[in-house]
Amino acid sequence: MALHHLLLNAVHGPAGPSAGGGGGQEAMRVSFAVPYRCEFGQHIALVGSDEFLGDWDVQRGVPMNWQDGDVWTVDLELPPTCAAAMR
């Protein structure tokens, strides 16, 4: 079972309240949708420079879900401390 990776080159910064009130930062909800046709049995994974995203290890990346029309999707709650490059 092969895993493919696609270059997205996204950088994520901290999320949360920006007004100064000392409120805690919240996770950032991020959705990815990538149109890609692959062979039956293959999967797509999102990998990145943060441990949360597998530290560039495709085997530890976040698996994406196949949708009709060969679109792969994943919704993530990225921690506020995540500043990662992804592919």
pLDDT in tens, 31-81: 889 999 999 899 999 888 888 888 899 899 999 999 999 999 999 887 777
Fold annotation for 3-11+28-86: Immunoglobulin-like (2.60.40)
**pTM for the complete prediction?**
0.65
**Phi and psi at residue 73, in whole multiples of 5°?**
-130, 155
What digits encode the pLDDT tens for the residues 4-42?
Answer: 444 333 333 443 444 344 456 788 888 889 999 999 899
- Report which secondary-structure segment, H or E, holds 70: none
- 45 CB-contact burial (10 Å; exposed 0-12 / middle 13-18 / buried 19+): buried
So where are the chain's domains? Answer: 3-11+28-86
